[in-house]
Amino acid sequence: MKFAQAGVAESEQVFDTGVMGVPAELQEQVQRVAPVVLAAEQLLPVPEIFHPVLPSGGLQRGWTTRVYGGPSARALAWALLSNITTTGGWVAAVDVPGIGLSAAREVGVAIERVLVVTSPDASTWSATIGALIGSVDVIVFGAPRHRVQPSEYRRMSSRCRERGTVMVELGSSGEGQLQYDLAFSVDPVEWQGLGRGYGRLQARGLDVSVSGRRTKGPARNARFELPAIDGRLRRVDQARPNLSAVS
Amino acid sequence: MGVVRGIRRREAQGRCPDILIAERDLAGEARAFEAVAAAIEAFTPRIELTQPGTCVFPTVGPSRYFGGDASLAEQILEAVDTVLAGQTECHIGIADGVFAARLAARMRRGGPCIIAPGGSTEFLAPLPITTLEQPELTNVLWRLGLRTLGDFAALDPSDVLGRFAREGLQAHHRASGTDDRLADVTDPPPDMAVSLSLEPPVERIDQAAFAARQLALELDAKLQRRGAACSRVTIEAESEHGERFIRGWRHEGALSVAAMTDRVRWQLDGWLNASPNVRPSGGLSLLVLRPENLIPAAGRQLGFWGGETEADQRAGRAVARLEALVGADNVQVAEWRGGREPDDMIRLLPAGTVELSDRQLSIFDERPWPGQLPAPSPVELFAEHAIQVVDADGTAVTVSGRGKISAPPAQVCLDGRTWRTVVSWAGPWLLDERWWDQERFRRRARFQLVDDEGNALLAYIQKGHWWLAGTY
């Protein structure tokens, strides 16, 4: 009896689906045929400027992440994903309203490898995400408009871990519905290039704080310029004197 | 003069100012062409459609029956003209090979253009090399000093093969009028056909097209295992009451999944929308794709640099699944188009209609767009989002017809409730485009604004109203 209970608990851990009563020999089979995930091979490439803020210098396949903090969060998300698309990976954007793909293109995203998906209503939302898990490398999704059951979320993230797809939720506030492996909090600090009646927007400074259960330790902070005044993406190492918007 | 194939839109408008410009509607063409194909089918069962508007068939048998090439052509012309009822005209060309016959048909010499057997090489020789319609190849040939098909055909085939590989050799066959059957074409074993019975029978064309895509994927996988591709496919459709409709489709190169899906869609479109006595009386219950003319699959090797990769295939499968789930229009891929406004620059296309792996080149087509706002672009775009922008006195900011701003913007309200102070701003940048087009013309003045919370906005004023275009 005790053994049976342990088996059930274990099988729940394996599947994380709540399916009860999987016999032990089946479990063994499952162990054998389950895709082997080697951590070191499973890093998705990110631009070098982001290496210091990421725990292993890249985005680990299977992680669930969240990028939040106003529209600038999208700029960070696209910059983070740019190398994945240019090295042959696919990104799907699910329910991202008003998606500005020209901005994505400017930070280096190969937009021909971005699928833009709209789920018509709440009932198809999780099936849409489910169809993409394992098929694309990254799923970017806008915060769902409906309440998603925690069990559904857990199931999604465990499937992601198994199939090696990274989920990136774009949020506006810090409150997400999911437990995140990584959360990027984005705080816009300054705009350069625009004056009072002259100039144009040229450089965007962002304070990024990375936390989550994978960061091992306190949140990592850094300031990025996406883009900097010369059009490139850059990490600002030293705390610089805060430039006024009038440069 | 006049409007002819291949000229630019602007040029066509110049030649004919009243011209009505329409997007190409292949499905509509297929529907219209179905009647023509049916009329020709009365003469010979072996017709093959290349694309809506063109079909080819071997004439040896029917000519003997109908009293020679000229007589056959006259009779077909008459039959087709009856169907077309004067809406457009039909051109017929008869020659040794498909390529020569097509060019002969395009000669438009009043009646049918018949090239005597063995005379195709001579007929093709004086035509310019560009008629091959393979720009990459013909550019090289042109620079090598080969200006006509005759020049090219005069080369030794083995030299052409050595220098330009298979593709070049095929072009050489076409240029010399010997493309009726290519050397490396094999007939497939009968078990290569794939079929799908539809239960319950489908009535709508998009459902059928979706089934066709699955079928095409299956056929593609089957062919791939043999390292082959097909350049001809016979599509058989059967209705629930047993009516059958069969057409052969041929292609210059290998038929891709998307190309096969298109052809099924065209064919079914033609059938389901045909005149009542031809149209099937029930829904569609069976679809069969039968590959013919197998050719070695040259471009199907998984790419080392570029080309189709496994990731692309996985994405393609996801697209097929999602189309069933959320509808074909809700799964899109982006295409760079260029334009002056952020929402113009990118066009979203249904992902099922494009080849996912083959799309890099069009992206780098960068032409300058005068009046385009320089990078960075807004990350979030808005359509029809009205805002208010006022000056220090609280009156709405306006821009005169000469582009002069009434007062510097001081406050902005995005949601109708909270006002934020404008910290910095620039503009107006005027945009006046497509003034010749009643519906799509735009005349607006654009501004960039940064408010006290650090949010950067792209706003514009059009006809005295302020709108939010995007946030940075």
How many domains is chain B partitioned into structurally?
Answer: 4
Start-to-end CA distance of chain B, whole Å, equals: 49
Contact A214, A60 (CB under 8 A): yes
Identify the pLDDT of residue A20.
53
What pLDDT score was predicted for residue B326?
85
- pLDDT value of residue A92: 93
Q: Which of B311, B332, B342 sits opposite A116 (nearest CB)?
A: B332
CB < 8 Å to B325, chain A: 124, 127-128, 131
Chain A contacts of B470, Cβ < 8 Å? 98, 100
What is the Cα–Cα distance from B150 to B137, expressed in whole angstroms? 15
Q: Is the predicted pLDDT of residue B171 greater than 50, yes or no?
A: yes
CATH number assigned to the domain comprising residue B127: 1.10.150.20
> What average pLDDT does the segment B164-177 reach?
82
Q: Which helix H or strand E contains B447, and what residues bound it?
A: strand B442-451
Task: Tell me the DSSP string of B366-428.
Answer: ----TTPPPSSPPSEEEEEEEEEEE-TTSPBP-B-TTS-BSS---EEESSSS-EEEEEEEEEE
Decide: helix, strand or coil at residue B201.
Answer: strand
- Work out whether the CA dihedral B75, B76, B77, B78 comes out positive or negative: positive
Looking at residue B238, which CATH number applies to its domain?
A: 3.30.1490.100
Q: How far apart are CA B131 and CA B151, in angstroms?
A: 13
Together in a domain, B204 and B134: no
Q: Is the pLDDT of residue B57 over 80?
A: yes
pLDDT band at B338 (very low <50, low <70, confident <90, very high): confident
Query: Does the distance separating the beta carbons of B450 and A201 come in below 8 Å?
Result: yes
Helices (H), ranges, B67-134: 69-84, 98-106, 120-124
Q: How confident is the model at residue B363 (pLDDT cuts 50, 70, 90)?
A: very low
Tokens for A201, please give them. 């927007």
The one-letter code for the residue type at B147 is R
Q: Domain check: are B392 and B440 in the same one? A: yes
Q: Which of B342, B346, B423 has its CB closest to that of A245? A: B423
Global confidence as pTM? 0.60
Average pLDDT rounded to a whole number, residues B182-197: 71
Flag whether pLDDT at B32 surpasses 70: yes
Q: Looking at the partner chain, which of A72, A136, A200 has a beta carbon nearest the beta carbon of B374?
A: A200
Give yes or no: residues B159 and B211 share one domain.
no
Range among A148-162, B292-306, B359-373 rated most confident: A148-162
**Chain A: closest CA distance from residue B291 (Å):** 29
Would you state the pLDDT for residue A211? Answer: 84
**Residue B9 domain flag:** no
Q: Identify whether B60 is part of a domain.
A: no
Same domain? For B331 and B421 the reply is no
Whether residue B194 sits in one domain with residue B169? no
Clarify whether residues B198 and B280 are in a common domain. Answer: yes
Same domain, B466 and B395: yes
DSSP annotation string for B251-290: -SS---HHHHHHHHHHHHHHHHTS-TTTS-SS-EEEEEEE
Mean pLDDT of B423-436: 87
pLDDT for residue A31? 64
Give the closest of B318, B325, B377 to A102, CB-based: B377
Identify the band that residue A33 occupies on the pLDDT scale cut at 50, 70 and 90: low
Cβ neighbours, 10 Å, residue B354? 16
Say what the pLDDT of residue A139 is.
93
pLDDT of amino acid B449: 92
d(CA B124, CA B171): 13
What confidence score (pLDDT) does residue B170 get?
81
Kindly determine whether residue B424 and residue A191, on different chains, have CB atoms separated by under 8 Å.
Answer: yes
User: Does the beta-carbon distance from B382 to A78 stay under 8 Å?
Assistant: no
**Is B380 an 8 Å CB contact of chain A?**
yes
* A117–B330 C-beta distance less than 8 A: yes
Q: How would you label B158-194 residue by residue, b for 16+ Cβ within 10 Å and e otherwise?
A: eebeeebeebbbbbbbbbbbbbbeeeeeeebeeebbb
Q: What per-residue confidence (pLDDT) applies to B317?
A: 82
> In B, residues 296-325, which contact A (CB 8 Å cutoff)?
309, 311-312, 314-315, 317-319, 321-322, 325
Q: Give me the mean pLDDT over the A108-137 stretch.
A: 87
CA–CA separation, B397 vs B393, rounded Å?
10
- To the nearest whole Å, the CA of B174 is away from the closest chain A CA by 34
Q: Do B448 and A200 touch (CB under 8 A)?
A: yes
Determine the residue of chain A that is closest to B376 in CA distance. A103
* pLDDT at residue B66 tops 60: yes
Q: Which residues of A touch B379 (CB under 8 A)?
A: 71-72, 74-75, 78, 100, 103-104
Cβ-Cβ contacts under 8 Å, B335 against chain A: 112
Picking from A106, A111, A118, the nearest residue to B376 by CB comes out as: A106
**B354 lies in the same domain as B393:** no
Q: Is the pLDDT of residue A237 over 90?
A: no
Indicate yes or no: CB of A227 within 8 angstroms of CB of B332.
no
Percent of chain A at pLDDT > 90 equals 7
Q: What does the pLDDT look like over B234-257, one tens digit per residue?
A: 888 888 888 888 888 877 667 788
Report how far residue B122's alpha carbon sits from residue A96's, in angstroms, rounded to the nearest whole number.
60
CB-CB under 8 Å, A190 with B454 = yes
Provide the pLDDT confidence category of residue B458 given band limits of 50, 70 and 90: very high
Question: Which residue segment(s) compose the domain that B265 sits in?
Answer: 190-296
Size of interface A-B (CB pairs under 8 A): 168
- B312 chain-A contacts, CB cut-off 8 A: 88, 90
Distance CA B263, CA B244 (A): 17
B50 vs A39 pLDDT, higher one: B50
Element (H, E) at A205: strand A199-211
Cα torsion B206, B211, B216, B221: sign: positive
Whole-number percent of chain A with pLDDT over 70:
79
Q: What is the mean pLDDT of residues B406-411?
A: 90
Contact criterion met (CB < 8 Å) for A227 and B376: yes
Q: Is B456 within 8 Å of A110 when comparing Cβ atoms? A: no
The answer to whether residue B139 is domain-embedded is yes
pLDDT for A198 beyond 80: yes
B377 at A interface, C-beta within 8 A? yes
Q: Are A16 and A158 in contact (CB under 8 A)?
A: yes
C-alpha span between B54 and A176 (Å, rounded): 57
Residue B468 confidence (pLDDT): 92
Among A105, A119, A245, the residue with its CB nearest the CB of B326 is A119
What mean pLDDT is predicted for residues B265-289? 81
- Per-residue pLDDT tens over the stretch B389-407: 999 888 889 898 888 899 9
- The token pair at A218 is 């306190």
- Indicate if the pLDDT at residue A148 is higher than 90: no
Domains of chain A, each with CATH number or no CATH: 2-33 (no CATH), 40-182 (3.40.50.300)
- Residue at B242 is within a domain: yes
CB pair distance less than 8 Å for B426 and A112: no
Across the range B208-233, mean pLDDT stands at: 83
With respect to residue B35, please indicate whether it lies within any of the assigned structural domains. Answer: no
Which band of pLDDT confidence, cut at 50, 70 and 90, is reported for residue A247?
very low
Percent of chain B with pLDDT over 70: 92
Residue B456 to residue A136, Cβ atoms within 8 A? no
Residue A119: pLDDT band (50, 70, 90) is: confident
Between B272 and A175, residue with greater pLDDT: B272
Mean pLDDT of chain B: 81
Q: In 3D, which of A242, A89, A64 has the Cα closest to residue A170?
A: A64
Q: What is the pLDDT of residue B274?
A: 74
In a domain, B138, yes or no: yes
Which residue's structure tokens are 């408010």? Answer: B451
Per-residue pLDDT, averaged over A231-236, amounts to: 83
Q: Given B311, B330, B334, which is nearest A88 (Cβ)?
A: B311
Contact between A131 and B325 using a beta-carbon 8 Å cutoff: yes
- What's the longest Cα–Cα distance across chain B? 91
In Å, how far from its chain's centre is CA B260?
Answer: 13
Same domain for B221 and B142, yes or no, is no
A106 → closest Cβ in B317, B322, B377: B377
Query: Chain A residues with CB inside 8 Å of B352's CB?
Result: none
Among B147, B175, B203, give the residue marking a domain's end: B175
CB contact residues (below 8 A), chain B span 22-51, against chain A: none
Per mean pLDDT, which range of B82-86, B381-385, B409-413 is the poorest? B82-86
B245 occurs within a structural domain: yes
Residues B354 and B384 in one domain: no
Measured between CA atoms, how close is A60 to chain B, in angstroms? 17
**Claim to verify: residue B284 and residue B247 sit in the same structural domain:** yes
From the list A88, A112, A191, the residue facing B359 with the nearest CB is A112
Question: What is each CA distance from B66 to A234, B73, B98, in whole angstroms?
Answer: 77, 9, 21
Q: Which of B321, B342, B448 sits opposite A201 (nearest CB)?
A: B448
Burial (CB count <10 Å: 0-12, 13-18, 19+), residue B108: exposed
The answer to whether the beta carbons of residues B151 and B129 sit under 8 Å apart is yes
Q: What is the pLDDT of residues B437-451, one digit of tens each?
A: 788 788 889 999 998
Whether residue A140 is predicted with pLDDT greater than 90 in this model: the reply is: yes
Average pLDDT over residues B447-471: 90
Does ipTM exceed 0.85? no
Query: CA quadruple A169, A175, A180, A185: dihedral positive or negative?
Result: positive
Which of A201, A204, A233 is the best substitution to test chain B (most B C-beta atoms within 10 A)?
A201
B71 in any annotated domain: no
Query: What pLDDT does residue A78 have?
Result: 92
> Is the Cβ–Cβ distance between A178 and A207 less than 8 Å?
no
Across residues A146-170, what is the average pLDDT? 86
3-state DSSP call for residue B109?
Answer: coil
- For residue A70, the chain B residues in CB contact (below 8 A) are 455
Q: What does the pLDDT read at residue B259?
A: 81
- What is the structure's pLDDT at B72? 87
A43 pLDDT exceeds 70?
A: yes
Interface contact A71-B336, CB threshold 8 A: no
- Averaged confidence pLDDT in chain A: 79
Q: Of A100, A137, A198, which is closest to B378 when you measure between CB atoms? A: A100
By residue count, chain A amounts to: 247
Neighbouring-strand partners of residue B244:
B238
Does B327 share its domain with B277? Answer: no
Taking only the tens place, the pLDDT of each residue in B106-165 is: 876 667 788 888 888 888 888 888 888 777 888 888 888 888 888 888 888 888 888 887
**CB contact, 8 Å: B244 with chain A?**
no
User: What value does the mean pLDDT take over residues A51-69?
Assistant: 85
Cα B215 to Cα B194, B196, B222, B258, B277: the distances in Å are 7, 7, 11, 11, 28
